[in-house]
A and B are shown apart, each in its own frame.
Chain A
């Protein structure tokens, strides 16, 4: 037999020998080395004298990781408050203007839109109080896009917390939503002040529209934040997709132009009209304008064609759809959530 074949046989035999036994021997060697190295890594403290105390735990045996969902988040309001505070602190760390930044940007955008649509395209001729019409839409679109994009990033950006301690993970998208409220709250205040200056004649219908619009906005924003925050853990692309979409949002709701343009479009292309109105955000903005802008008009009867005739019917249906969406988003989140720690 040739020497080469002999050597090959020997090598094969050696490889065969590295079986369960070999692996175990290796493990033993590593264990001994580790034990030697680490034996005094921690100082030793003698056990205390005296009888061991008995601790009576007044609780049931439970799963350490319950599926509480959003409901559990609202039971832990104190933690939620601190996480929101942390998020705000993180956002404005090392910036001189701090919180002001979240007002400067919308203010500039408002200025640009007002100039282009109000002055250049003279929208304020056909739409009285155009500035309020525009601003009432912008505030809520801003709120929505901030909740959506902030919520989408939230789980990923809080991975340090998520990986260490158990807490309802829905807390991060919810915190993003509350943070967005901090930014839009003062804007709503400004909007209200200007409405009052312009002569705000509130009616019951207007208030009902406001409440309905707000509910649609909140449920829709929450369900989108929940859904995309879970997806973003798996594929980080989603945060880019979301930020791309949020740029179009301003044009997809009737605020720079009035609803009557969309109604006119609907005469020839009913499909486009239905698609446009299927956007919960468009419905919500219309309801908000019914609340803020419409009651400031001098002769409102002339402008009833600025709202769809079935505004409220659509609103209630939309709220129902959004509640279903929220339920589905929560289901989806709970399903993906179990695998979050290993994906982050």
Chain B
């Protein structure tokens, strides 16, 4: 098989700067507060994805999933380690990116298509398909500021899904729209998957991941703690605990109490 995404020991630090203005910085220094703090959003992550695999990336909010997606997409660069990808990357990550409210749907379609890496000829060729899928009808030549949020999302999604990508990245959070449209999207993604495109799908929805993915990665506070079978991954993420189990006083706790009494 051919490697599609190769991620090696990737680490991404974020610097949080608390105080931006000179006055605030002076006050903070005087009080002895930290001016900035670093934290690692992605910590020493390595994995390889083969062409045609579909990967479900799971984890709690804030575990670094979106950062990892941005690193693969090329929006961010890793601080350490390396990422290499093969072929054109597109997907449900930039839906509606750069839509200008005063420009018409048609103009925005061309701009957004170009941002996703399509050339002029390619967009013209796919133009009818994109418009048909988006189902915006006569609103095509209306400024997008007059669109309903559903129409806006549909147009964005439709462009993204028509990019002939080798790697398709999808973030569930960005797939807005009503349920029938979402269903249409998911079906389209299955088609894309069937064509042998690598899929990288960020989702919390276990059922959706089960039907879409061949392999699951679980991120926990920046560490890649699970990489393997879908069912096992979902079970891992839910930590196999009995849901009624309350975090009651642990054994150590009682010992401490005893110690206090003596």
Contacts and interface: CB of A to CB of B under 8 A. Distances in A.
A78 B52 contact: no
Contacts of A45: 183, 186-187, 189-190, 211-212
B260 A10 contact: yes
A167 B75 CA distance: 8
A27 B239 contact: yes
Interface stretch (B27-35, B127-135, B248-256): B248-256
A96 interface: no
B83 interface: yes
Interface in B214-250: 220, 234, 237-239, 241, 243, 247, 249-250
A32 B211 contact: no
A39 B208 CA distance: 8
A65 B79 CA distance: 13
Given A10-B257, A57-B2, A61-B3, A89 B100 contact: yes
B142 to A, nearest CB: 14
Nearest to A65: B74
A25 B247 contact: yes
Size band of the interface chain B makes with A: 35 or more
Interface in B83-133: 83-89, 93-94, 97-98, 100-103, 107, 110-111, 114-116, 119-120
A48 B100 contact: no
A52 interface: yes
Contacts of B46: none
A275 interface: no
A79 B83 contact: no
A4 interface: no
Contacts of B207: 39-40, 42, 44
Nearest to B187: A45
Interface in A70-89: 78-79, 82-83, 85-86, 89
A17 B250 contact: yes
Contacts of B2: 57
Nearest to A166: B74
Nearest to A48: B194
A89 B103 contact: yes
Interface residues of A, number: 71
Contact of A164 (B14, B75, B85, B212): B75
Given A1-B261, A42-B175, A64-B85, A57 B4 contact: yes
Contact of B166 (A13, A55, A82, A158): A55
B26 interface: no
Interface string A7-51: 001101110110001101111111110110111111111111010
B42 to A, nearest CB: 12
Interface of B: 2-4, 6, 14-15, 51-52, 60-61, 70, 72-77, 82-89, 93-94, 97-98, 100-103, 107, 110-111, 114-116, 119-120, 166, 172, 175, 179, 182-183, 186-187, 189-191, 193-197, 203-208, 210-212, 220, 234, 237-239, 241, 243, 247, 249-250, 252-253, 256-257, 260-261
19 contacts: A5-B260, A9-B260, A10-B257, A28-B239, A31-B237, A38-B203, A38-B205, A39-B205, A41-B172, A45-B211, A48-B193, A53-B195, A54-B51, A62-B84, A63-B82, A65-B83, A82-B111, A89-B107, A165-B116
Given A162-B75, A341-B75, 15 more contacts: A22-B250, A35-B206, A41-B205, A43-B183, A46-B211, A64-B83, A78-B120, A86-B100, A94-B102, A163-B75, A164-B98, A164-B115, A165-B94, A166-B73, A339-B15
Closest CB pairs A-B (n = 10): A166-B74, A55-B196, A28-B239, A64-B74, A13-B256, A164-B97, A9-B260, A65-B74, A38-B204, A93-B102
